[in-house]
Chains A and B, each alone.
Chain A
Amino acid sequence: MRIALDDDERNFRATLRQYLDAQDLRAVVAEQSGLAESDIGPEGRRFVRRLGSDGWLGLAWPKELGGGGRSRVEQWLFVEELAYRRLPYPHATLMAIGPTIASIGTPAQRNEWLPSILRGEILCAIGYSEPGAGSDLAAISTRAESRDSAFVVNGHKVYTTGAHYATHVWLAVRTGESSSRHRGLSVLLVPMTTPGITVRPLYTQAHKRTNEVYFDDVTVDRSCLVGQINEGWSAMMMALNFERIQPCSKVVRDVQLIAQVKDALGANQDAEALLGECVVDAEIARLLTVRAALEQAEDRLVAGHASMAKVWMSDARQRIAGQALDALGAAAAYGKGDALAPLRGELESLYTDSPFMRFAAGTNEVQRDLIAQRLLGLPRGR
């Protein structure tokens, strides 16, 4: 029984740190601070391609698929380290979409897409949410009609972060009857250059870009269907499970940011107690995340554990930002654009962004339902 890293894991992390320390990544970090956490800017995309060419993408993918053949614990350490340094990483593409293609894709799909994903050349946006399908993804209405050797897609997706630069969209479409719920959904990997796709920007209250995407008679070759027709639900859920386990180093960074509040206020018992609360919150987030990540890495994820990590992490980050702003008072009412704003306005940004964390990747209400029903064994409501 142990909690510490073993020697191999420590050596791996030391090598990774050496690699990252040797690069000047200030422009990537600066760019990232203005983006949604799952978004990647032009500097970031160059960085991701460099990671790919240096062999750092797909660390835990099997060697026969071109991956690094390393353990998933090491993969998780890699993701944590990047998040800690505020460096971008194509989380969904590498952690969920690639492995799903490897698992249920055709040989042709694996040959075509996986090498490009590992080089950082394919970046996918997730096309799930719609105006009428948020928490209830089984209500998706974007349709893919089968015509000859192709599908014709019509519909409207929202909150499609990264769609304005993504090479592909991992698109959930209805291929069954309109009343078929989750049994009539399929997944297509659609090139964003396909005619008929229109991307329109949406900006969040934290001034971060996401998108809505319109599909008007978009003809998608049948070879883009991933898995069997009408059996896309489990592939969709795989991507969501990975989204729920966010790197816990983010909340560690939050606390380090908040520690500057203590410095700003001087020796002050109230500030110390406030920071103590933040550390407790962060420690819980860290340990719930470590547990879920380890279970997932070892293929023994207990139902509800990813949800616990997600609920606490997102609630905690909101509490931490709100409490720290409160401690600073009126001076904290200036945002990121103000040169005199305390902590460069980063607290305001974290706070304004925090509702998103609580409703994204399955709302915290849905997560609590999952914990109650799948982990605690309580009956479903009728």
Chain B
Amino acid sequence: MDLRLDSDSRDLAESARRFLADRLPHPRLVAMSKAPPGFDSDLWRAVVDMGWLMPCEEGPAGIEALVVLLHEVGYAGAPMPLLATVRAQRLPVELPELAPGAVLTVAEASTSWSSGGLRVDRAAGGLEVYGGPVPVPWGTEAETIMLLVQDNDGAVLLAVSGSAADDGCIEPGEPFDNEPTSWLHPDKLVSVSNAMPISGGLDRWRDECLVLAAAVLVGTAKRVLELTLEHVRLRKQFDRFLGSFQAVQHQCADAAIFADAAWLTLLDATWRLRDEEEAGRSARVAAVVAARAAEAATLIAAQLHGGVGHIDEFVLPVYFRRAKAAQLRLGPSVELLRDIGREASCAPGEDWWPE
């Protein structure tokens, strides 16, 4: 038994970390967060050239490499459509022919606040979609938006071309973090002729999405903890280093426990997805813990930095906003918790440890 990454994954993580640190030093991150969030096409091209989208072609085994890379994206606080594109690539359907390195994204009605309003009408022999609007990460930048609609009659995927923005279907939004996010108005879609029914595999896809999003959050938690430790080791008050006060130490210890817990639950879920058909509850547990770890790390960081951490010339607010926004994009945590609780069993002898 082992709970560590192997040397290939460690090498991949190290090279990704060096690359992102080089491309996105903190002053640049801060500057990008003040301007309207945008798409750094040079950065994206470099990421594509390095093959960061390639693990998807390796089948289920690619999940581990993606988790490693997205963890580094979270660590760097990097605004880029890697998670959005990978989510689309891993949908359990054959996607239309696309240019290599195309930015993709998925708009999923069921995770939006307006999920109750979106419905599909198949009665007229065709297919009409009502309701919305639906949040779309990187919707304005995407070449194709995969609109996933699920109702009692099943799941349907609609490919929406990026040019639909011209029809007013896609409206830029103003997210509070540095990940450009748009609104999709399904009722303004002119053509939905390319509807693709999804017959299976959606549960696994959702598990993968949770784990990949968790990876970004865990990276966020780890980086914010490091920034905090650097600060309390150097900052002096009352002629003492902040980090020597027990009250400060205990907050750092709690953030560290949470970050480690998030990393371990992430690994557990990743390896289950790699080795098994279903991740079971582990994907949902990983998502909940990652979100809480990132939130705890940023709240503790804000408290221990005091004023300097609250000023938007500093990098901490970038991470602060990213942690909360990424958590929200997972959907309400209480829904994840209910799913976990619904499956839990009191059957005596149930053997769910310590695999």
Q: Which residues of A contact B (CB under 8 A)?
A: 1-6, 9, 73, 77, 80, 84, 248-249, 252, 255-260, 262-263, 269, 271-280, 283-284, 286-288, 290-291, 294, 304, 308, 311-312, 365, 367-369, 371-373, 375-382
Contact = CB atoms under 8 A, between A and B. Distances in A.
Contacts of A269: 338
B344 A294 contact: no
B265 A287 contact: yes
**Residue of A9, A273, A287 with most chain B CB atoms under a 10 A cut-off:** A287
7 contacts: A259-B344, A284-B261, A284-B265, A284-B289, A287-B3, A369-B250, A382-B244
A279 B285 contact: yes
B32 interface: no
**Residue of B9, B288, B345, B354 with most chain A CB atoms under a 10 A cut-off:** B354
A1 B9 contact: yes
Interface string B191-234: 00000000000000000000000000000000000000100110
B340 interface: yes
Contacts of B2: 1-3, 294
B240 A373 contact: no
Given A3-B355, A276-B338, A377 B229 contact: yes
B304 to A, nearest CB: 11
Contacts of B186: none
Q: What is the interface of chain A mostly: helix, strand, loop, or mixed?
A: helix
Interface string B1-44: 11111100100000000000000000000000000000000000
Interface stretch (B90-98, B123-131, B251-259): B251-259
B337 A3 contact: no
Contacts of A367: 253
A249 B275 CA distance: 24
Nearest to A286: B353
Given A9-B1, A288-B264, A376-B253, 4 more contacts: A273-B337, A274-B341, A283-B265, A368-B254
A378 B1 contact: no
B350 interface: yes
Nearest to A294: B1
Contact of B253 (A271, A283, A368): A368
**Residue of A3, A73, A274 with most chain B CB atoms under a 10 A cut-off:** A3
A287 B268 contact: yes
Contacts of B257: 288, 308, 311-312, 371
A283 B285 contact: yes
B353 A252 contact: yes
B256 A371 contact: yes
Contacts of A275: 340-341, 344
Contacts of B248: 378
Nearest to A297: B1
B256 to A, nearest CB: 6
A258 B345 CA distance: 9
A1 B12 CA distance: 15
Contacts of B261: 284, 287-288, 312
Interface string B268-304: 1001000100000110010011000000000000000
Contact of B346 (A2, A248, A249, A260): A260
B1 A290 contact: yes
A252 B354 CA distance: 10
B271 A369 contact: no
A226 B164 CA distance: 80
A358 to B, nearest CB: 14
A83 B121 CA distance: 56
Contacts of B339: 276
Closest 3 CB pairs between A and B? A276-B337, A259-B346, A275-B341
Nearest to A252: B353
A288 B285 CA distance: 14
B240 to A, nearest CB: 7
A291 B252 contact: no
B245 A279 contact: no
Nearest to B284: A276
A51 B252 CA distance: 43
Contacts of A256: 345-348, 350
Given A80-B353, A256-B346, A372-B253, A273 B240 contact: no
A5 B289 contact: no
Nearest to A256: B346
A322 B309 CA distance: 35
Nearest to A3: B271
B260 interface: yes
B355 A376 contact: no
A224 B270 CA distance: 52
B314 interface: no
Contacts of A375: 256
B249 interface: yes
**Residue of A263, A274, A290 with most chain B CB atoms under a 10 A cut-off:** A290
Nearest to A257: B346
Contacts of A255: 344
Contacts of A273: 334, 337-338, 341
B244 A379 contact: yes
A181 to B, nearest CB: 20
Contacts of A257: 346
A75 to B, nearest CB: 13
Contacts of B155: none
B65 interface: no
Contacts of B256: 304, 308, 371-372, 375-376
Nearest to A367: B253
A365 B244 CA distance: 14
B122 interface: no
Interface in B44-66: none
Contacts of A9: 1
Contact of A376 (B252, B337, B346): B252
Nearest to B269: A283
A369 B248 CA distance: 10
Contacts of B229: 376-378
A304 B255 CA distance: 13
B336 A276 contact: yes
B139 interface: no
A369 B246 contact: yes
A276 B344 contact: yes
B222 to A, nearest CB: 12
B170 interface: no
A275 B339 CA distance: 10
Nearest to B10: A1
B340 A280 contact: yes
A2 B4 CA distance: 8
B173 to A, nearest CB: 30
